[in-house]
Amino acid sequence: MDSSKIHVGFWFGLASLMVLDLLSSGVWNRPVWTSVSSFPRQNKTSTIPKDELEEALEGASMENKTLIIGVVNKAYTKEGSMLDLFLQSFQLGEGTQFLRNHLLLIAVDQTAFDRCNLKRLHCCKLKTDGVDFSGEKVYMSNDFLKMMWSRTLFLTEVLRRGYNFIFTDMDVMWLRNPFERLSHELGEDLQISCDFYNGQPLDWTNPINTGFYFVASNKKTIALFDTWYASKNESEGMKEQDVLGRLIREGVIQQLDLRVRFLDTLYFGGFCSSGKDYGKVVTIHANCCVTIKPKIRDLRAVLDGWIKFRGRSDGTSTGKSNSTSTVLWPSYEGCFGIKPNSTSTSNQTSTPSNQTLL
């Protein structure tokens, strides 16, 4: 736990417009990521002088250069807010406690950075000049979009440095260790959660959700993220999730020969759609929901149910395991107001109309 004071300052362009201009004029063919101390990019493996980002990545990653990355702002790090709930899920989850040490939080404002450090997590600070990221950012506002894109740029750099990661939104509860549920069968490059799942793990028409995914670092995934970021320019007003969705529909998986697995919502669920089974759930995401308050309320209810489920099924009293969940999954009263009738069987590919940042 020597990580409490890592400060990584990134100047993501003097203004993001500058980056756009340069990208479009073809001067830079890769995302521009200017850190304080510049370093040679050509030699990927050996002679790169260690900078602060590298230290942060090293500190958080497992032996196989794999880590968990999340983004936080002031609103999400408030006492009793999303970050607390998120960390609580790690604590209450099955075999998830140790994962806290492999979590790197990207703070987008000073307050979030300070609070992250107070919790003795691995933290680094993403700096985007001229934008105040501290408030709650409502879906599709300008700041929301800027934030989304700057995080895509950041994640590209992480891949370029050879780190695999799970990216997680903060409104995802980790109830079981996702690494154990992820597949290694095909040498998957990307395994991504979905708003809805059509039962076909390799079918790219599954509507993705970028709130939770695993990506392995290699040439192909770096190319994917480069392409993703580069599309920012032609995707005015679209958020990065929709842009990636569009790229997929346009065939980027085939073009880059990516092995992509779409994650079953039975295990990697969300409020849009999930198995609603405590015996199966690995992660649960408050997607299809608008703002922080109702998300927190409903995620708490999920956690409460989880506590009951664990109390009944894991050895604390009788020792016998009861694999079918007997605890009812909560309805999402905060997010949906009334009890939803049925699990969604929607065939829609559009994302919910309003979401909150992070």
Q: Which stretch binds ligand NAG (CB under 6 A): 86-94, 126-134, 203-211, 347-355?
A: 347-355
Beta pairing partners, 105: 70, 123
CB of 142 to ligand NAG, least distance (A): 12
Sign of the C-alpha dihedral, residues 162, 265, 304, 356? positive
Q: 328: Cβ–Cβ under 8 A, 6 or more apart, which residues?
A: 305
Q: Pick between residue 23 and residue 105 the one whose CB is nearest to ligand NAG.
A: 23
> Is 45 a residue that touches ligand NAG (CB under 6 A)?
no
Question: Closest CB to ligand NAG among 83 and 305?
Answer: 305
- Contact predicate 239/144, CB 8 Å: yes
Instruction: Report if residue 322 touches ligand NAG, rule: CB under 6 A.
Output: yes
Q: What are phi and psi of 209, to 5 degrees?
A: -130, 120
Closest CB 110 distance from ligand NAG, rounded Å: 26
Question: Which residues, in sequence order, are bridge partners of residue 143?
Answer: none
Under the criterion CB under 6 A, does residue 353 sit at the interface with ligand NAG?
A: yes
Q: Minimum distance from CB of 233 to ligand NAG (Å)?
A: 4
Identify the residue among 29, 37, 64, 317 touching ligand NAG (CB under 6 A): 64
Q: By rule CB under 6 A, what count of residues binds ligand NAG? A: 25
Residue 9 C-beta: closest distance to ligand NAG, Å = 26
Give the range of 59-67, 241-249, 254-262, 296-304 binding ligand NAG by CB under 6 A: 59-67
Task: State the Cα torsion 140-242-259-216 to the nearest 10°.
Answer: -10
Stretch that binds ligand NAG, among 26-34, 69-77, 205-213, 319-327 (CB under 6 A): 319-327
CB of 98 to ligand NAG, least distance (A): 9
Site string for ligand NAG, 197-216 (x = CB under 6 A): -------------------x
**Residue with Cβ nearer ligand NAG (299 or 327):** 327
Q: What number of residues does the chain have?
A: 358
Among 22, 55, 100, 179, binds ligand NAG (CB under 6 A): 179
Residues forming contacts to ligand NAG in the complex (CB under 6 A) are: 20-21, 24, 42-43, 47, 62, 64, 66, 138-139, 164, 179, 216, 233-234, 312, 320, 322, 326, 341, 347-348, 353-354
